[in-house]
Amino acid sequence: MSEEQRLPLPPFTAESAVEKIRLAENGWNSRNPERVSLAYSVDSEWRNRAEFVNGRKEIVAFLKRKWERELEYRLVKELWAYTDNRIAVRFAYEFCDDSGFWRRAYGNENWEFNAEGLMTRRFASINDLPIHESQRKFFWPQGDRPKDHPGLSDLGL
C-alpha cells in the first residue's frame, strides 16, 4: 500500500462504506486537522456550508478555525447511500460554541473518492440548532466514539 492510499478502496460495498465512514468520523473526532487532512487528496475540493475549501493546506486552516470556535466537539456519522466511488452520509455533531452556548449541527455530506481511497470531493450541507446542555446526547470522552455508543438512528436523530 502506498503512503497516499487510504483503505478501504473503491468500489465500495455496504460494509466497506460503513468502515470508511467510521474512519472519517474517528478522524474528525480527533480534532487533529493534519490527521484529518490526510484522508483527502492534495487537490480535494470542498463546499462546507457556504465556504469553499481547496486542497489540504486550506483543509487544515479551515479545521483549525472550526475547532477554535466549536469546543467539546463530538460527531456521529451514518451511511445514507453508496455507489462505486461515492458515499452519502448523514451526521450530527454537538459542540459548545466559544460563547458558552451548546449546539447540535445536523447535515448531509456527499463524498467522492479516487482509486487510492482519498476523498477528492466533499459537499456538506449543515444546519445548527441551539440546545440546552441537558439535551446533549453525545457524552463520550474526547476522541473516537465508543463502539457501543448508539448511532444516529438509535438516538432518534
- pLDDT tens track for 49-72: 999 999 999 999 999 999 999 999
- Write down the residue that cell numbers 458515499 correspond to: 87
Q: Which of 88, 89, 82, 90 is nearest to 10 (CA)?
A: 82
What values do phi and psi take at 139, rounded to 5? -120, 5
Q: Distance between CA 74 and CA 145 in Å, rounded?
A: 8
Can you give the pTM of this predicted structure? 0.95
Q: What is the dihedral of CA 25, 29, 31, 35, to 10 degrees?
A: -40
Mean pLDDT of the chain: 96
Q: Distance between CA 60 and CA 36 in Å, rounded?
A: 8
pLDDT at 2: 54
Q: Which residues of the chain are under the pLDDT cut of 50?
A: 1
- The CATH number for 14-135, chosen from 3.10.450.50, 2.40.110.20, 3.40.640.10, 3.90.1150.10, is 3.10.450.50
